[in-house]
Chains A and B, each alone.
Chain A
Amino acid sequence: MSVIVQLFDELITVLQTMLQILPYLVGYVALIMATTVIWRMVKRFLTPKSDFGSLKTVTFGDASAVTSNMAASVISVVFIFLVWGAFTGSKLVPGFVHMPGAFQGEVTFSYDIELPDGATTSAQAKVVVFPAGTAAPAVEIEEGTGSAKNDAIAIQSYRNKLLAWDKNDEFNRKAGARIVAIEGQPVSAGGEVELDNLRVAVTSKGTLNIEPNKGVQMEKIWLPAPEDVVSRLIEIGSEGFKNITLAEHLAYSLFRVVVGFIIGAAVGIPLGYAMGLSDWFRGWFDPIVEFMRPVPPLALIPLVIIWAGIGEVGKIILLFLAALWIMAIAARSGVSGVRISKVHAAYSLGASKWQVMRHVIIPNSLPEIFTGARVAMGVCWGTVVAAELVAAEKGVGMMIMVAAKFQQTDIVILGIVVIGIVGLAIDLLVRWAERVMVPWKGRG
């Protein structure tokens, strides 16, 4: 029962988070709607095309009247980069779309002190906020002539820092001196004051906790700007990550996928044929295939590591297993899907069993096998990246995992983009091969 209660609490948390996201989502949809309207108006001024689709009066509900709108795709991608640039202060996007960034620069504020004897005095604090990745500058200020001396402090942006204002003074907090106001605004221990670019709080022990304004831009370790990712790409492309270039990482990942897939297909397709053509093979392998098919390849990673280690052999065994069942099932359904009249026709035309196999069953199963190959390649690519995340010496998955440990977010994002592009390229390649090799697909 307690599990249900816990899960219910988790569900509530998830729903609350979703509720927080909801306004942004609504805004995004509104943006899409708005761009549609604008695009329609723009289009009206352009020469109207009277192609088959645009002359249809019933478009809502007619799936064939809906083709992917190129303009919408372009706007969508541009918008993603615009938002990315705006929240990272990217130089690639015009300055006016930048979200307010973290404060950098110099502020001086005054603070009033009440001494133990009830007398008050005041001093100034000079704060210099410097960007991450640069050395802290030396900040100097005239100490002044009063009993309370002026203070100076350098703070890295996005960080906060305690200022022990009394360390250079002629009295100290232990003796009972305390801050009563900052820039004229009364404050006491535990309280805080919002200045233009700083938030200054008085801690319970009386020191000042100074936090520069963070703005709404993302810090580099959370989300680097697009150009940082690009420069990382150039850097890793030429110099490499951990002395291994990106091409080499990719080559390792692709090598595993291709070899694992080819071995999986080389075993899986004959297995599928055997299952489709012989009841004994079908009965023998059905329990094995039907059990292994729903097991996600990722669940096999630990076992494969135990048995074969983290080297190439283990990876290829894993990908072999990922491709094997998919290819076997595709080949099996390709064989089972042959129309009996085609087989009968071939026999009546004098074909032998082997000729029926060679000229009817195999070509007839090719479309199914290509569909299986597309799925298997996708699964293999996902599995190799996951396997490399767990343990590997080389590979794009390993690259982003190690980069994440060192908070090199730009490399992580770069890796994700590369993984996505390669996955897409693999899919397009298989689709192209399908078009060339089985043009009759779906036309039988």
Chain B
Amino acid sequence: MSGLSIQNISMRFDLPNGSSVQALKNVSLDLKKGDLMSVLGPSGCGKTTLLNIVAGFLAPTEGQIMLNDHVVKGPDAERGMVFQQGALFEWMNVRENVGFGPRMKGMPKAEMNETVDHLLDVVGLRDFKEKAVYELSGGMQQRVALARCLANDPDVILMDEPLGALDALTREKMQSLVLKLWKETGKTIILITHSVEEALLLGERLLVMAPRPGRIHREYRLPFADLGVNADLREVKKHPDYAKTREEILSMIWDMEEEIMGRQEEQA
């Protein structure tokens, strides 16, 4: 089977005081090639843990991840990751950052330069090729991070709040870019976000997770991502279902947060 299969993942951390935290419990999920899934949930629902397990940075206590019929054992170039910010290598310029993956693989220089040039065109940074990354704005840095990830041609792209640190306008532009890249490359993408609006726009499938233990609460299938490709995202937001779904998810997460607060007060 080609695609990403998250099979019955549980994650328990043992704490030094003898107790343990169940970060994830029995999470199962299948993604076909080309799926765009956004993940929402209150803090502590284990969404970052899940992403780190898929990326191979953490080994789950139970269950396994299958990608294209092999078990995921650790980080690999087949699963690219885009981080919130500060994961670029500031000792390399834009070109070297984007070409990092190919260089590690030992790709011939001419081919690598071609790939890098093409990707910088795609993310609109052609003129910034030789700039140091710290000279770029936050939005541009995330474009570099996207290009760097794509340069490796991964099967799955994992995004851990990639737009979280950007201002509203830049964020909207970047959302369009993510949609464009998704459609053009046909990559499987899992995107974690805190913003319900972003999850609606960038989630063909939208997963709402619940905390304690971290688990899948509900999954939506939404039309907005497809609508948003090459379209004005503000127009998409005027879709009659958009506001309704947003309110529904917002109150769902609101209730979960309330519950967490209540439980903490009980404990206190």
Within the complex, which residue of B57, B91, B132 is in contact with A364, where a contact is CB–CB below 8 Å?
Answer: B91
Give A345 to B159 CA distance when docked, in angstroms: 11
Which residue from chain B places its CB closest to the CB of A348 in the assembled complex? B81
Across the interface, do B91 and A349 meet the contact criterion of CB distance under 8 Å? no
Shortest A307–chain B CB gap in Å is 42
Q: A352-B104, A364-B91, A366-B91 are in contact. Are A344 and B81 (CB under 8 A)?
A: yes
Report if A40 contacts B (CB, 8 A).
no
Report if B215 contacts A (CB, 8 A).
no
- Determine the chain B residues whose CB is within 8 A of the CB of A439 once the complex forms: 132
A interface footprint on B205-235 (CB within 8 Å = 1, 0 otherwise): 0000000000000000000000000000000
Q: A350-B152, A360-B89 are in contact. Are A344 and B104 (CB under 8 A)?
A: no
- Determine the chain A residues whose CB is within 8 A of the CB of B87 once the complex forms: 339, 341-342, 344-345
Among B75, B84, B91, B149, max chain A CB count under 10 A is at B91
Report if B30 contacts A (CB, 8 A).
no
Report if B105 contacts A (CB, 8 A).
yes
Say what secondary structure dominates the interface of chain B.
loop
Give A96 to B156 CA distance when docked, in angstroms: 85
Report if B79 contacts A (CB, 8 A).
yes
Across the interface, do A349 and B152 meet the contact criterion of CB distance under 8 Å? yes
Shortest B49–chain A CB gap in Å is 13
Report if B86 contacts A (CB, 8 A).
yes
In the complex, how many residues of chain B place their beta carbon closer than 8 angstroms to a beta carbon of chain A?
Answer: 29
Across the interface, do A344 and B91 meet the contact criterion of CB distance under 8 Å? no
Report if B247 contacts A (CB, 8 A).
no
Shortest B253–chain A CB gap in Å is 25
Give A364 to B134 CA distance when docked, in angstroms: 14
CB under 8 Å from chain B, chain A span 353-383:
355, 359-360, 363-364, 366
A interface footprint on B128-162 (CB within 8 Å = 1, 0 otherwise): 00001010000000000000110010100010000
- Determine the chain B residues whose CB is within 8 A of the CB of A355 once the complex forms: 104
What total of A-B pairs shows CB separation below 8 Å? 76
Report if A259 contacts B (CB, 8 A).
no
- Determine the chain B residues whose CB is within 8 A of the CB of A347 once the complex forms: 56-57, 74-75
Across the interface, do A350 and B104 meet the contact criterion of CB distance under 8 Å? yes
Report if A419 contacts B (CB, 8 A).
no
- Determine the chain A residues whose CB is within 8 A of the CB of B203 once the complex forms: none
- Determine the chain A residues whose CB is within 8 A of the CB of B101 once the complex forms: 349-350
CB under 8 Å from chain A, chain B span 49-96:
55-57, 74-77, 79-81, 83-84, 86-91
B interface footprint on A416-444 (CB within 8 Å = 1, 0 otherwise): 00000000000000000000001110011
Give A429 to B104 CA distance when docked, in angstroms: 34
What residues of chain A have their CB less than 8 Å away from a CB belonging to chain B?
Answer: 339, 341-342, 344-352, 355, 359-360, 363-364, 366, 438-440, 443-444
A339-B86, A350-B104, A350-B152 known, 19 other contacts, Cβ within 8 Å: A341-B84, A342-B88, A344-B81, A345-B81, A345-B148, A347-B56, A347-B57, A348-B79, A348-B149, A349-B152, A350-B76, A350-B77, A350-B105, A351-B100, A359-B89, A359-B100, A364-B91, A443-B134, A444-B134
